[in-house]
């Protein structure tokens, strides 16, 4: 059986060494020494000044909206994981969808301004599959209309644009460290901002808004993470470069073997590095996708229709609406297996089967 993804697990002994320290200290959560160390090491690795380690990527988005005091409309993408939209609604705001670009699969920046109204307060864009949005165009639009910008960088760990971390763009950027991500802490998330005052505010929000032993300075939430999760994050950080190199090799093998397959890969940002978080293909038709998926399923090779269906017409708490490109792409996009210990021989098998199914 070949799953669509598997979590990377470091050598057991590496993790247990840190776990033994937790047993000695008996400090399990509430931003213990390992969580604090992870924040420092992630800042060094990513080359950024300010960062918070939080419960997960969804809480990170919710905290960002709350900290920026957004209460109105937020322009966003219908082509993302449900947390992007549900976080907006959860915080009492209104999502306003803008269609995606057919090549990059990110929000189409050229269509954002026509969606802006007097109630628009922010843009929340996703770096789909880790592929950076048009951050320069979005920044210009935001400045022109006095809007806040939040980036959902759940997939974008380690990506750089013009030599800068992708997390340095926008007012706030978030990241997921879920077990399925290329770098993970089992469960976890990151919040990044260039503004020290905003970071301080989000740190307070993360801890219930507590300002002292018997005082509170704002509405908060429990957004902290545990020492056990931080331990996994610290150990996995030692292997993240090897993980990316391995995923790069797998990605290149897919590209070599699927040169004649009837599909295209999303167009990557021309000034950005890649982290090889996913291997998505936009197939020629939904019929071909269903044929391929069924054929691979029959051989116990599992793929994922990520993201399908469009958030604009799948959520029971929103009025459905059609977006031509998103609706089309979401029906035709398929993510192939990609994880650290997937072998090149297994990649070859997957590709042979796909080509055979396509041609039959």
> pLDDT for 171-185, tens place per residue?
999 999 999 999 999
Please enumerate, as own/partner, the contacts of 37-46 that have beta carbons within 8 Å and a separation of 24 or more.
Answer: 37/230, 37/234, 38/185, 38/230, 38/233, 38/234, 38/237, 41/234, 41/237, 42/190, 42/233, 42/237, 45/158, 45/237, 45/240, 46/158, 46/165, 46/167, 46/192
**Would the pLDDT of 212 be above 90?**
no
pLDDT at position 214 is: 85
pLDDT at position 268 is: 98
CATH fold label, 240-359: 3.90.1150
Region 12-237: CATH code? 3.40.640.10
pLDDT at position 136 is: 97
Q: What percentage of the chain has pLDDT greater than the value 70?
A: 100
pLDDT tier at 211, thresholds 50, 70, 90:
confident
Average pLDDT over residues 270-298: 98
Predicted TM-score (pTM) of the model is 0.97
State pLDDT tens for residues 96-149.
999 999 999 999 999 999 999 999 999 999 999 999 999 999 999 999 999 999
**Would the pLDDT of 50 be above 90?**
yes
pLDDT at position 213 is: 81
State pLDDT tens for residues 87-96.
999 999 999 9
State pLDDT tens for residues 306-346.
999 999 999 999 999 999 999 999 999 999 999 999 999 99
Q: Domains of the chain: which residue ranges?
A: 12-237, 240-359
């Amino acid at each position: 059986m070949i799953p669509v993804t598997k979590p990377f697990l470091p050598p057991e002994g590496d993790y247990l060494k840190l776990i033994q320290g937790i047993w000695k200290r008996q400090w399990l959560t509430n931003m213990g020494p390992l969580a604090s160390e992870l924040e420092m090491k992630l800042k060094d690795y990513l080359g950024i000044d300010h960062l918070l380690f939080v419960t997960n990527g969804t809480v990170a988005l919710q905290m960002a909206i709350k900290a920026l005091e957004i209460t109105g409309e937020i322009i966003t993408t219908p082509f993302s994981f449900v947390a992007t939209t549900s976080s907006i609604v959860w915080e009492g705001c209104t999502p306003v969808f803008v269609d995606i670009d057919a090549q990059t699969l990110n929000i189409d920046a050229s269509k954002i301004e026509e969606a802006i109204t007097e109630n628009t307060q922010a843009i929340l864009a996703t770096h789909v599959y880790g592929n950076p949005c048009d951050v320069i165009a979005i920044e210009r639009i935001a400045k022109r209309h006095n809007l806040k910008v939040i980036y959902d960088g759940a997939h974008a760990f380690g990506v750089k644009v013009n030599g800068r971390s992708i997390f340095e763009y926008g007012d706030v950027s978030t990241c997921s460290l879920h077990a399925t991500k290329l770098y993970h802490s089992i469960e976890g998330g990151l919040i990044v901002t260039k503004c020290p005052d905003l970071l301080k505010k989000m740190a307070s929000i993360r801890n219930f808004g507590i300002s002292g032993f018997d005082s509170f300075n704002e509405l908060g939430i429990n957004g902290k993470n545990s020492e056990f999760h931080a331990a996994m994050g610290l150990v996995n950080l030692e292997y993240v470069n090897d993980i990316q190199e391995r995923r790069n090799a797998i990605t290149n093998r897919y590209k070599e073997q699927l040169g004649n397959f009837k599909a295209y890969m999303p167009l990557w940002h021309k000034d950005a590095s890649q982290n090889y978080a996913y291997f998505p293909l936009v197939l020629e038709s939904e019929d071909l996708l269903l044929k391929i998926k069924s054929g691979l399923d029959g051989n116990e090779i599992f793929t994922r229709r990520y993201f399908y269906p469009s958030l604009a017409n799948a959520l029971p708490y929103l009025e459905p609406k059609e977006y031509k490109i998103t609706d089309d792409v979401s029906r035709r996009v398929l993510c192939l297996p990609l994880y650290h210990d997937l072998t090149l021989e297994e990649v070859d098998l997957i590709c042979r089967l796909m080509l055979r199914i396509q041609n039959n």
